[in-house]
């Protein structure tokens, strides 16, 4: 019997990357083998994003390229998964009628059965959760199943770094955002389930865990007896997992940045001093239109608390330029916020109107595309200056770097063995490149920074260190703190 083959392409956020890993893990247990091109595959999946139009256009282009292939191979299965599937199921089938499966974010567990149904009937199969207005909150919530099957290490960015979902859905309803519709009501996973998954991943060799949530610092889990577990409690619960060296969490909502969480980041050595806290705009008028539920004054106060509570913390942000009604004065207030806030980096996007959102319903998309481009480039230039100043402060310092493997430049040159340029990240999520052997991937090593660019640090591994491939470095120390004892458990670290 021929081994069935699967191809999956992922567009979008870390949550989508995790979903794809889980889909692959589920289908591997059905006997599927992962392949690298759609032409090789029996089952072809695109895991999609609807946050911006560009992401959707990319998927429709990919589907268009497959039209002839699917006509020549009618026995194959083509599926569209994720946020775009949940939002635009009928449009997808109109534009690409040869798609066999349309499966939303809350129904991914149904994929093995959907594949078999397509093979048996050759009829399109839809698996979608309820829309927010179709039923009660309880019924809609139940239709968005938390999809957390066994993991598949081969789908991770590296074998020693892993994502863990702690929350699904979102209840913030920012006017520009489709996520409350495509991922459903906010739900916190049971803390015991999260802790068990973290332990499993650490047992498999993961030394860095990133907890994922749409607004991760809003995480709450309520027990029947009234007890409530917050994100700070969850961090403490998983902190001492044997083998774990680093814990990160993204993305944070400014209004929900409580002191309990900041204290946990400060006091728990394995929790990294890095916070991603999107501001989206520096203008209160825009924030009100976006329904962000905070003011710039309160955002600035939050930044002050973060830096007072966690000395040396690095903070990054997100911004949307060209949102409905954004004037030049509004935009300049955003520029001022970026200049003064000293963000490590910011992800900057041009506003893209999304059907089904309140912004699309209430406000005209009235900022010309050319103006959006100019503002996008101007804000990027300001952030680059801020980032360069931040990076230069690290020159001459020795920092602990988690080695991720060969850098992009090394991979382009085909240099995957022997001494080459490696890349890794500091506890504050700064990217560092340096020369070394790819076998060091998965190690935490001291690197001295000798040069800085806006978004990359250049350094040298501190010599005289033991760099055997089977031992693990002690956890990095914070100022005035002593690292916990290294775990007794030892792993053979993978070669990259």
Contact 162, 197 (CB under 8 A): no
R_g (Cα) of the chain, nearest Å: 23
Q: Which residue has the higher pLDDT, 483 or 105?
A: 105
Q: What pLDDT, on a 0 to 100 scale, did the predictor assign at position 494?
A: 26
Is a pLDDT exceeding 80 seen at residue 69? yes
Q: Which strands, in side-by-side order, build the sheet including 314-321?
A: 274-276, 314-321, 346-350
Give me the mean pLDDT over the 231-240 stretch.
98
Query: How far is residue 69 from each of residues 6, 47, 214, measured CA to CA in Å?
Result: 15, 19, 36
User: What global pTM score does this model have?
Assistant: 0.86
Tokens of 324: 């409905």
Instruction: Label residue 490 by pLDDT band (50, 70, 90).
Output: very low
Residue pLDDT, tens place only, 273-283: 999 999 999 99
Contact 424, 267 (CB under 8 A): no
Is a pLDDT exceeding 60 seen at residue 338? yes
Nearest-angstrom CA–CA distance, 387 and 435: 23
Instruction: Label residue 145 by pLDDT band (50, 70, 90).
Output: low
- Is the torsion defined by CA of 211, 215, 217, 221 positive or negative? negative
Tokens of 169: 């859905």
Instruction: Label residue 466 by pLDDT band (50, 70, 90).
Output: very low
Residue pLDDT, tens place only, 79-120: 999 999 999 989 999 999 999 999 999 899 999 999 999 999
H/E stretch holding 315 reads strand 314-321
Q: What pLDDT, on a 0 to 100 scale, did the predictor assign at position 411?
A: 85
Residue pLDDT, tens place only, 363-418: 999 999 999 999 999 999 999 999 999 999 999 999 999 999 999 888 888 877 77
DSSP state for residue 154 in the 8-state scheme: G
Nearest-angstrom CA–CA distance, 46 and 63: 9
């Amino acid at each position: 019997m021929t081994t069935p083959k699967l191809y999956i392409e992922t567009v979008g956020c870390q949550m989508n990357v995790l979903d794809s890993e889980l889909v692959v893990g589920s289908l591997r247990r059905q006997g599927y083998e992962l392949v690298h091109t759609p032409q090789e595959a029996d089952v072809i999946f695109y895991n999609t994003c609807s946050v911006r139009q560009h992401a959707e256009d990319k998927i429709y282009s990919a589907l268009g390229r497959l039209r002839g292939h699917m006509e020549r191979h009618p026995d194959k299965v083509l599926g569209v998964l994720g946020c775009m599937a949940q939002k635009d199921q009928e449009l997808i089938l109109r534009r690409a009628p040869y798609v066999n499966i349309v499966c939303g974010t809350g129904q991914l567990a149904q994929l093995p059965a959907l594949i078999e149904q397509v093979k048996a009937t050759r009829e399109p199969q839809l698996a979608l959760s309820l829309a927010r207005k179709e039923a009660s909150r309880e019924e809609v919530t139940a239709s968005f199943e938390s999809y957390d099957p066994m993991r598949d290490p081969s789908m991770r960015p590296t074998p020693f770094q892993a994502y863990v979902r702690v929350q699904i859905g979102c209840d913030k309803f920012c006017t520009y955002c489709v996520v409350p519709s495509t991922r459903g009501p906010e739900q916190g996973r049971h803390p015991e389930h999260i802790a068990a998954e973290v332990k499993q991943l650490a047992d498999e060799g993961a030394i860095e865990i990133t907890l994922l949530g749409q607004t991760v610092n809003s995480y709450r889990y309520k027990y029947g007896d009234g007890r409530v577990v917050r994100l700070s409690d969850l961090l403490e619960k998983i902190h001492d997992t044997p083998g774990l060296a680093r814990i990160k969490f993204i993305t944070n909502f400014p209004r929900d940045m409580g002191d309990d969480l900041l204290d946990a980041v400060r006091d728990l050595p394995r929790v990294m001093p890095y916070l991603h806290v999107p501001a989206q705009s520096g203008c209160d008028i825009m924030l009100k239109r976006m329904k962000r539920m905070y003011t710039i004054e309160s955002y600035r106060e939050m930044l002050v608390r973060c830096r007072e509570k966690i000395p040396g913390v690095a903070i990054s942000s997100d911004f949307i330029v060209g949102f409905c009604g954004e004037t030049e004065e509004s935009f300049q207030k955003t520029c001022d916020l970026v200049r003064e806030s000293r963000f490590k980096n910011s992800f900057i996007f041009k506003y893209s109107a999304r059907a089904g959102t309140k912004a699309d319903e209430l406000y005209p998309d009235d900022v010309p595309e050319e103006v959006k481009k100019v503002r996008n480039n101007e804000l990027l230039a300001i952030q680059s200056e801020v980032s360069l100043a931040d990076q230069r402060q690290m020159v001459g310092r020795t920092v602990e770097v988690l080695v991720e493997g060969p850098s992009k430049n090394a991979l382009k040159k085909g240099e995957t063995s022997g001494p080459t340029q490696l890349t890794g990240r500091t506890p504050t999520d700064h990217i560092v490149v340096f020369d070394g052997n790819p076998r060091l991937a998965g190690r935490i090593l001291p690197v001295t920074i000798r040069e800085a660019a806006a978004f990359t640090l250049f350094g040298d591994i501190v010599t005289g260190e033991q760099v055997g491939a089977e031992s693990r470095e002690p956890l990095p120390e914070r100022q005035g703190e002593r690292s916990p004892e290294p775990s007794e458990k030892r792993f053979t670290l993978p070669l990259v």
